[in-house]
Amino acid sequence: MSQPHAPSPTRPPRFRVPLVLVALALAAPPVRAQDAEGAAVARWVEANRAELVDRLVEFLRIPNVAGDRPAIRRNVDWLVSAMEARGIRTRVLETDSEPMVYGELPAPGARTTLLFYCHYDGQPADPAAWTGHAPWDPVLRDGSLADGAGVIPWPADGGYRDDWRVYGRSASDDKSPIVMLLSALDALRAAGTPPDVNLKFLFEGNEEAGSPDMRSLIAGHGDLLRADLVVMADGPEHGSGRPTLVYGARGIVTTRLIVYGPERPLHSGHFGNWAPNPAMRLAALLASMKDRDGRVLVEGFYDDVAPLSDAERAALRAVPADAPTDYGFAAPEGWAGRLRLEATSLPSLNVRGMGAGWIGPETRTIVPDSAVAEIDLRLVPDIEPGAQVARLRRHVERQGYHLAAGPPTAHERASHPRLARLVDLRDGYPGMRTPMDHPVARRIARGVGRFTGAEPVHVPMLGGSVPAVWFPVEAGTPVLLVPTVNPDNNQHSPNENLRLGHFFDGIVTLAAVMRIGRPSS
């Protein structure tokens, strides 16, 4: 195996469709020495590529959409069997929907306990939208489909190359991290350096629907989540190819703003500039919410923001930056040169969708009856979701609107010249940050550095929101995200894939996390 994470001419970080945490690695990180333990694990991975891919593909062949009970049960059986074979004390925790698979593996004399969280369910998939194979019939390609790579046979000699990719549902999100964890355990044992911290595992079966069973799990089995730190192995590694540690995530709350006009669409000729136009009114309302530089004008919007620490501020400046032109625009909101992670460390008000009447070929020449803006409010510590929505509600009322509690009645329509509604879509959840100097997090950062020989990218807080992050936080446990898969993995989309170099490297990264028991590490 080549040096993991060290840039090399044969493994350029070329991602055609970068989705998350993507940037050019403008400044090469300091290359550190991979230590003996890490090198031994890497050698074992190198020697066992065929078996590791076989194991992954076997797991990917089991359909895993929540609600498909027989298939979900086969996933559970596969997990229980794989965990018990490794001496993990395993329990299946039934829930109101899909079971969670829980396991414990104590290390003799260890005083630190880590809980690894992953999910074994996957997004539903439309087979017709996939290229050349069904979502649960994985194939191998000698590169990225986006670059035109074709399907190749599984190699008889097991000679898998780093740039080859496995295509299949959950190849990245989130079955491969489960296989990485189990394989890391095998690798450490084979190298004679077994885990030296107590390990817990929680594999959820209904994450893609927003983890509906996590709250009742905490209520019923809160002790199972008890650990010094939860390690979430999910999501894509930084685009630089360096191992990545993420210390937090923004929260989110969503709402739908509806502005009402006439009770049905009216002919724009016979009624235009007499009947109030809800699209124009919505436009004025949205325009009142932000200034030209993107600063939110809703009163109190930034009041509860917990400032970043100096360490967090320094860390986000050290993350290789991405440029607006990579995404097809000339300048960010705010000031020129503003870093993306600076922007996403603040709460946001985003119009994720907007609609009124019809557009394109369906356009009708009418005054629309209503106009809708779908809004997401991203949250940072210490903003409460309900408080932020209440601020938005007051803002709309201050613009002269009556807010109806439901679809407006004839009486409300006749009484209020400006009529709107804010629909709360689902419970939001707050943002979280684990302090970057949390002692266990620091031990993990050092461990990953010595096992991989690369300086990790430290991301103080994801701009995105991960519902599953919040539940251990609610139970009082800090969380660290250790994402390992390639950014261009087509997560949630057709042609989801895993780059094998990331798979093999991820095993080394996660093995490092299991060897942080020594005080010196």
Span 438-477, contacts to a copy of itself by CB under 8 A: 462-465
Start-to-end CA distance of the chain, whole Å, equals 24
Q: Quick one: which of 27, 129, 146, 287 contacts a copy of itself (CB under 8 A)?
A: 287
- Phi, then psi, of 454 in degrees rounded to 5: -130, 145
Pick from 71, 94, 93, 103: nearest CA to 181: 103
Q: Quick one: which of 111, 128, 363, 405 contacts a copy of itself (CB under 8 A)?
A: 363
Cβ nearer to a copy of itself, comparing 364 with 518: 364
The Cα angle at residue 407 between residues 405 and 413, in degrees rounded to 5: 95
Cβ nearer to a copy of itself, comparing 87 with 210: 210
Cβ nearer to a copy of itself, comparing 57 with 481: 481
Q: Quick one: which of 8, 131, 216, 350 contacts a copy of itself (CB under 8 A)?
A: 350
520 binds a copy of itself (CB under 8 A): no
Span 195-254, contacts to a copy of itself by CB under 8 A: 249-250, 252, 254
Q: Quick one: which of 262, 428, 478, 517 contacts a copy of itself (CB under 8 A)?
A: 262
| Shortest distance in whole angstroms from residue 518 CB to a copy of itself | 36
Size of the site for a copy of itself (CB under 8 A): 90
Q: Quick one: which of 50, 280, 311, 318 contacts a copy of itself (CB under 8 A)?
A: 280
373 binds a copy of itself (CB under 8 A): yes
169 binds a copy of itself (CB under 8 A): no
| Shortest distance in whole angstroms from residue 301 CB to a copy of itself | 11
Per the CB < 8 A criterion, the answer to whether 265 and 368 are in contact is yes
Beta strands in 233-330 (DSSP E): 244-246, 248-249, 251-260, 266-267
Residue whose pair of structure tokens reads 């360096």 in the numeric block = 242
Query: What span, in angstroms and rounded, lies between the C-alpha atoms of 472 and 263?
Result: 46
Query: What span, in angstroms and rounded, lies between the C-alpha atoms of 382 and 250?
Result: 10
Cβ nearer to a copy of itself, comparing 225 with 366: 366
521 binds a copy of itself (CB under 8 A): no
Cβ nearer to a copy of itself, comparing 81 with 350: 350
Query: In this structure, what token pair is assigned to residue 209?
Result: 């629907």
Site string for a copy of itself, 398-427 (x = CB under 8 A): ------------x--xxxxx-x--------
- Residue 178, C-beta contacts closer than 8 angstroms, at least 6 positions apart: 59, 79, 118, 120, 203, 233
Per the CB < 8 A criterion, the answer to whether 481 and 249 are in contact is yes
- Phi, then psi, of 252 in degrees rounded to 5: -155, 150
Residue 486 three-state SS: coil
| Shortest distance in whole angstroms from residue 381 CB to a copy of itself | 15
| Shortest distance in whole angstroms from residue 505 CB to a copy of itself | 22
Residue 9 three-state SS: coil
